[in-house]
Amino acid sequence: MSAKGDMCYAWTNDAGIKGECGGAVTSLLKYMLENKIVDMVLTVRKGVDIYDPQPAFITDPAELLKCSGSLHCGTLLLPKLIKKYLNGAKDMKVAITCKGCDAKAMYELAKRNQINMDNVVMIGLNCGGSVTPFMARKMITEKYGVDPDCVFKEEIDKGQFIIEYTDAEGKHQHKGISIDELEAEGLGRRLNCQRCETKIPRQADIACGNWGVFGAKAGKATFVEICSEKGAAIFDGAVKAGVIDTCAPEAKGLEIRGKIENVMIKMGKKAQTKQFTALGEGSAKLAMIMKETSRCIKCYSCIENCPICYCVECSTKKPHLVRPGIIPPDFMFQMIRFAHIADSCVNCGQCQELCPMDIPNSLFMHSQQVELEKMFGHKPGMDMDLPVLAFAEEADERSRLHSTGSDMIYENVFGEEK
């Protein structure tokens, strides 16, 4: 019997599954569908090419075989789709593949009662980062000197972004360039991925990845960490049914996995310092945010795609707060978002990648989230703890503000009135 915290190498026994690292994830998803543990799997499949990852809602287990493999050149975030199209899993059971940002978005939606976690199985994928399709094509053309349409596979391994492609003579070639080198030149992973600290998504029921798969199993198995009782039961069921095989992880592999995770977290913190410092401080930072957001065309894409935004009546659409018919919108539009989201931002990058005006919204919001975390200790997306704003009693705060004239309303939450 597995238990939370157990770790092993796992791989599929199904010859039809061609997984990224042994196919254990596809096998687990297939097992859950075939045995009606879930009604649907929400995962990702390749669209027209490797730069086009698309969400896949799957009910036929055979369809899962077409989804195996990891797609790094995309910006998808799946959880809001459960809310939007599957009624928040309130009346069906769903398994979902989750990178760290997906897992954090799941928790934030769940604590706002937008997703029923009792009906969800989260299969976590370790994540070193992803690249936008635009950036992938640009850097493959300019830095790798390869036609991006000739690339049939990409992976991030041992600190390199590696492509496999067909050359002019029809031969298969591969080329890798270190992520450090790419990023020093402004290429490589998304800026939010560079800042990310959630490398092994232990919020999921099971966390899977290639880090730590060492020795004979390297490249042929996935390192599995059991993260919940639900995950343990499903994993044990799949092993018992004979669909996946396991073995104990190599001691060296365990050590390497721990080291890589720590290094990646440190890199994330370093990138935060670098990117946030460049924003400046105080009024200079505000001026820079106002300048950047003055390009806004009020398309609502940031709101539509943010996992924290779900309100039926969004305040940004209230005419007494943001005047209608004016582009760019009043700065209050951005202020509303900052006020409502900053304590809970999971740094998923959606509001930035999908902004048609290339406004670095995620960078602005994440920088504020980190400041709020320093003040209140709340880390979004890690557990079901309520966000800071949930503790603000509006009537009390208004009356305190009225009587003190102070705008430091947050300090009162912890009884530290100054």
Binding site for ligand SF4 (CB under 6 A): 99-101, 127, 129-130, 192-193, 196, 198, 296-303, 305-309, 311, 314-316, 336-337, 340-341, 345-351, 355-357, 359, 361-362, 365
Q: Which does 387 bind (CB under 5 to 8 A by kind): ligand SF4, ligand FAD, none?
A: none
* CA–CA–CA angle 129, 134, 135 (5° rounding): 50
Examine residue 25 and tell whether it contacts ligand FAD (CB under 6 A). Answer: yes
Smallest distance from the beta carbon of 367 to ligand FAD, in angstroms? 24
Sign of CA dihedral 5, 239, 246, 104: negative
* Least distance to ligand SF4, CB of residue 255, Å: 23
| CB closer to ligand SF4, 311 vs 390 | 311
| Token pair belonging to 384 | 């079901």
The least distance separating ligand FAD from the CB of residue 272, rounded to whole angstroms, comes to: 18
58 makes contact, choosing from ligand FAD, ligand SF4, none, with CB < 5 to 8 Å by partner type, with none
Q: Is 53 in the site for ligand FAD (CB under 6 A)?
A: yes
In whole angstroms, give the CA distance from residue 70 to residue 10: 17
Span of 39-47, 184-192, 232-240, 319-327 interacting with ligand FAD by CB under 6 A: 39-47
Is 128 an interacting residue with respect to ligand FAD (CB under 6 A)?
A: yes
Binding-site size, ligand FAD (CB under 6 A) = 34
243 binds, among ligand SF4, ligand FAD, none (CB under 5 to 8 A by kind): none
Q: Give the other-Cβ count within 10 Å of 354's Cβ.
A: 17
What letter represents residue 60's amino acid? D
SS3 state at 99: coil
State the CB neighbour count (10 A cutoff) for residue 357: 14
* Residue type at 251 in one-letter notation: A
- Look up residue 69 and give its DSSP letter: S
- Tell me which residue of 17, 102, 89 sits closest to 347, measured CA to CA: 102
* Comparison of 209 and 349: residue with beta carbon closer to ligand FAD: 209
Distance in Å from the first CA to the final CA of the chain: 54
Q: Is 224 in the site for ligand FAD (CB under 6 A)?
A: no
User: Is residue 21 involved in binding ligand FAD (CB under 6 A)?
Assistant: yes
Q: How far is the CB of 195 from ligand SF4 (least distance, A)?
A: 8
Task: Say how far apart CA 35 and CA 251 lie, in whole Å.
Answer: 34
At its nearest, how many Å lie between ligand SF4 and the CB of residue 104?
8
Asked if 99 touches ligand FAD (CB under 6 A), the answer is: yes
Contact indicator for 62, 86 with CB cutoff of 8 Å = no
130 scored as a contact of ligand FAD (CB under 6 A): yes
CB atoms within 10 A of CB 167: 11
CB 223 within 8 A of CB 217: no
User: Shortest approach of ligand FAD to residue 265 CB, angstroms?
Assistant: 12
What is the full DSSP assignment across 134-154? HHHHHHHHHTS-S-GGGEEEE
Among 97, 132, 246, 293, binds ligand FAD (CB under 6 A): 97
Question: Is the preceding peptide bond at 201 cis, omega within 30 degrees of 0?
Answer: no
- Write out the residues near ligand FAD by the rule CB under 6 A: 19-26, 29, 43-45, 53, 67-72, 74, 76, 97, 99, 125-128, 130, 156, 208-211, 222
